[in-house]
Amino acid sequence: MDETTMPPPLIEVKDLHTHFDTRDGVVKAVNGVSLTLNHDSVLGVVGESGSGKTVTALSILRLVPLPGKIVSGSIRFEGTDLLSLGSEGMRHLRGKEIALIFQDASAALNPVTPIGNQIEEVMLEHTDMGKRMARERAAELLADMGIPDPKQTMKRYSFQISGGMAQRVMMAIGVALEPKVLIADEPTSNIDVTLQAEILHRLRQMRERNRSAIMLITHDMGVIAQMADSVAVMYGGTVVEHSETRKLFKRPTHPYTWALFQALPRLDAPSRSLRPLRASHPEMIDAPDQCPFLHACSKATNHCRTSPRPPLVEVEPEHEVACYNPISEIRD
């Protein structure tokens, strides 16, 4: 298939800016993010807390909480501009075409509504399915997620189930309508490693069964290595590096990405000294138009200090970096 007949990306975000007006100034939570999610692929979005990962996901679904607002940029789903879509169009899209699995599943579930009703609500809202069929389908979804005695679980409330079970309930809600895009925000955080493996296994199953594309938001590079086809590394509200996964692990090119890998232990190099990240966060309030990593970068030059924020530039096929002085080292 040549480029002229290639379908448009499922999701294409260009130069997105989402700001929060506060008494101290404007917090530029998303400050020029550009990324692409293609059909039947997994895009890993990685970065430390406060890098703008979750706000980017909320922006795609236009669920940014007040006082936040999308200031500029474009978000397209299969070529449709989501920022110009009416509220009814977005309501139809959420859950049916694009689903979001929230980071804190226990907090995202309604504590005064039984689990079963919350799963059924998605199907009743977006399809002509009857109440009885929706209830049967909800039980099937919970069983698919490995929850024992799903019919009994459907009668419980969110405060009566464990965090791991709540995460699987959120996943059942997310895939109820077999959406084309599943955005999973830190699906393996705050759960034990055994359950982490099960959650990742369920995500793989959903991708294979529904042919869904997944945007996987995490700070765990191990999860990225297992799951992602490509990776967008975020720092200070922007994407500093975007690459095919293998290339990123072999050649981390942005100084921030390189520092991330230096801080990770490696089983094949147990004697290697770890280099912790410099304990400093970028200025997000009224952030200047400069590289967000400038304050902590060991490779910063005068050009970096006197120039505007660098754009993403291709350094090799399927590998882009936003840096005036990138790393050239190849990892073993």
Structure tokens at 38: 């293609």
pLDDT of residue 17: 96
Give the DSSP H/E element, type plus range, for residue 106.
helix 105-108
Q: What is the mean pLDDT of residues 259-281?
A: 65
pLDDT digits (tens, 9 = 90+) for 122-159: 898 888 888 999 999 999 889 888 888 889 999 999 89
The closest of 153, 320, 293, 307 to 232, measured between CA atoms, is 320
What the chain holds in terms of domains, given with CATH numbers, is: 11-86+232-321 (3.40.50.300)
Would you call 87 exposed, middle or buried from its count of C-beta atoms within 10 A (0-12, 13-18, 19+)?
Answer: exposed
pLDDT of residue 276: 62
Would you call 1 exposed, middle or buried from its count of C-beta atoms within 10 A (0-12, 13-18, 19+)?
Answer: exposed
Q: Is the pLDDT of residue 1 over 50?
A: no
pLDDT digits (tens, 9 = 90+) for 239-251: 999 999 999 999 9
pLDDT digits (tens, 9 = 90+) for 3-47: 555 677 899 999 999 999 999 899 999 999 999 999 889 999 998
pLDDT digits (tens, 9 = 90+) for 163-176: 888 888 888 888 88
Structure tokens at 97: 């075409």
The pLDDT mean for the chain works out to 86
Report the percent of the chain where pLDDT is more than 90.
Answer: 44
Query: φ and ψ at 329, to 5 degrees?
Result: -70, 140
